[in-house]
Structure 1
Amino acid sequence: MSAPLKLISHKLCPYVQRAVIALTEKGVPFERLDVDLANKPDWFLAISPLGRTPVLQVGDTAIFESAVILEYLEETQLRPLHPADPLRRADHRGWIEFGSAVLNDIAGLYSAADEAAFKAKAAQLEARFSRLEARVVASPWFDGESFSLVDAVFGPVFRYFDVFDDIGDFGILSHKPKLARWRQSLAARPSVRSAASTEYPALLRDFLKRRNSWISQLQLRAAA
C-alpha cells in the first residue's frame, strides 16, 4: 500500500497549484493543508528548509520544491504528463523553468513601487510572452493534443491575469492569439479550475492592495 500524501499549501501560491493540477490529472488522492506564510508554524519550518510551499509529505518523508515534487509524481504515479521522448521531455523541462521565470517577473510587476518600474516589468513580461507565443502550439495544449506538466505550470500563470485584467490593460498579452487560445483551454480544464479556491480572486486583490505598490494604486483607481 502506498504512503498517504499530504500537500502543504498556501492559498495564493502558484507553485502549489502546479502540484495540485498534477495530482488531480493523475487521479492521486491527497490531503491539502494550507499554512499562513506570514506566520509560519514551527512544524512547517521543520519540514520546509527554504520556508516555502509546496511541501509534499509522503508518509514520514517531506519533499520540498515544486519541480522536485512534479518529477517525483512522474516517477511514482500513473498517467505521465511528460512526453515519452527524452528530447521532447528535456524541451518541456526547459519551458517549465521558463514558466518559473515568468512567475518571478509577475512578482516584480506587482511589487514595482512606481510607474516607471511597473512599465519596465510589464515590458519584460510582454517580451517573455512574445517568446512563448512563438513556441506554443495551443491546439489545445502547449505541445498539441496532450495535456502536459508545462500546461500545469502555465495554468496558475494565466490565473493572475484574470485579476490583472480587471485592473487595467497593460498590453502584456495583447496580439498573441495562440496564448489567448491556450489560456481559454486552461481556464476550462477541471484540474486547473479546482487548483485554486473560489476565494482566490478576492484573496489576490487583497494581497495586491496590501503591497502598497504601483499596481495597488491602479487597483484602487479601477475600483473607484
Structure 2
Amino acid sequence: MSALEQPILVSHKLCPFVQRSVITLLHKKIDFTIEYISLERKPDWFVEISPLGKVPLLRIKDTVLFESAVINEYLDETHGEPMLPKDPLEKAEHRSWIEFSSSINNIQFQLTQARREETFSKIEEDLNKKLAHLEKRIGDKGFFNGKEFSLVDSSFAPFLMRSKILAENTGVDTVSDYKKLQKWRENLLSLPEVKKSVVKDFEDLYMESIYERGGYLADQ
C-alpha cells in the first residue's frame, strides 16, 4: 500500500474514541497516517466532511467514515483475523458492550469536569454501578473474553488508561474495588498497541486539561 493509499485518521490528542481506532489500527498492523486537529478551532475542511463535527474520522480515498465503533468494524472486516466473534449472538453481545464502553468514557469525562464534591460523588456512584456489571461479565484471563484481544478490549482500553493516570495523579482510582477490572487494566496497558496509541506527552496533556477546568479532581 503506497503512502497515498494509506487511510488517514483525523484525530484529537485527548479523545478516547480516536484512541480506540488507533489501537485497532496498530493491532491489525495497518499502515495509516494520523492528522491532529483542534476541536476548539475546527478547520473548515473538517467541518465540511464531518457530519457530526466529531473525531475520529477515517478518510479512505474519497470516502469518509465516522464513529469509532463503525470504523473499527470496517477495519476488522477488511484486515487480518477477526476481532469480533463469528457467532451472530455472541457478536451482538460484544457490540452491546462496545456501546456500553462509550457510556463509560462519557461518564469518566463528566467525572473530570465535576466542580463540586456532591456532583462528583453522584457521577462516581453511577460509574460504580456500571463497572459492577462489567466486573461480572469480563473474563479472568486478562482480556474481555478469554485470552484473545477483541474489539471490546480496544474499546475499553482508553477508559482504563485514563483511570490509571487519574489514580496515580489524584489518588482517585475508579476500578480499585474490582479485581478483574484491575487485572484487565494491567494487561491491556502492557500491550504495545495500547502503549503506542497516544502521543508521548499524553499523561501531561490529560492532567493539564483537568487542572485547567479547576474542578473537584484538580484539588485532590
State the TM-score bracket (shorter-chain normalisation).
Answer: over 0.9
Q: For residues 94 and 140 of structure 2, what CA distance do their matches in structure 1 show?
A: 14
CA distance in 2, matches of 1:181, 1:36: 34
- The one-letter code sitting in structure 2 at the alignment partner of 1:40 is K
Match of 1:221 in 2: none
Answer whether contact 1:18 1:66 (CA < 8 A) is retained.
yes
- Residue in structure 2 matched with residue 203 of structure 1 by the alignment: 205
SS in 1 for 2:39: coil
- Correspondence 1:177 to 2:179: yes
User: What is the RMSD of the two structures over their aligned residues, measured on CA atoms?
Assistant: 1.5
1:171 Cα deviation (Å)? 5.5
Match of residue 90, structure 1, among 83, 89, 92: 92
Q: Match of 1:71?
A: 73
**What aligned pairs does 1:126-141 form with structure 2 within 5 A after superposition?**
126-141=128-143
In structure 2, what is the Cα distance between the partners aligned to 1:127 and 1:154?
16
Q: Distance in 2 between matches of 1:171 and 1:122?
A: 10
SS of residue in 1 equivalent to 2:59: strand
The farther-off stretch of 2-11 and 36-45 is 2-11
Specify the alignment match of 2:146 in structure 1: 144
Kindly indicate whether the alpha-carbon contact (under 8 Å) linking 1:126 and 1:171 is maintained by their aligned counterparts in 2. Answer: no
CA drift of 1:87 comes to 1.2
TM-score between both structures, scaled by the size of structure 2? 0.94
Unaligned 5+ segments in structure 2 are: none
Alpha-carbon distance in 1 for matches of 2:200, 2:84? 29
Alignment equivalent of 2:52, drawn from 43, 50, 53 = 50
- Matched with 1:113 is 115
Structure 1 consecutive aligned stretches of length 4 or more whose deviation exceeds 6 Å? none
Letter in 1 for 2:116: D
How far apart, CA to CA, are the structure 2 residues paired with 1:31 and 1:4?
Answer: 7
Give the TM-score, by structure 1 length.
0.93
Q: Is 2:192 the counterpart of 1:215? A: no
Number of corresponding residues: 218
Partner of 1:103 in structure 2?
105
Gaps of at least 5 residues in structure 1 are: 219-224
After superposition, give the CA deviation of every residue in 1:82-111 in whole Å (9 maximum; x if it has no partner): 111111111100000110010111111111
Maintained 8 Å contact 1:21/1:191: yes
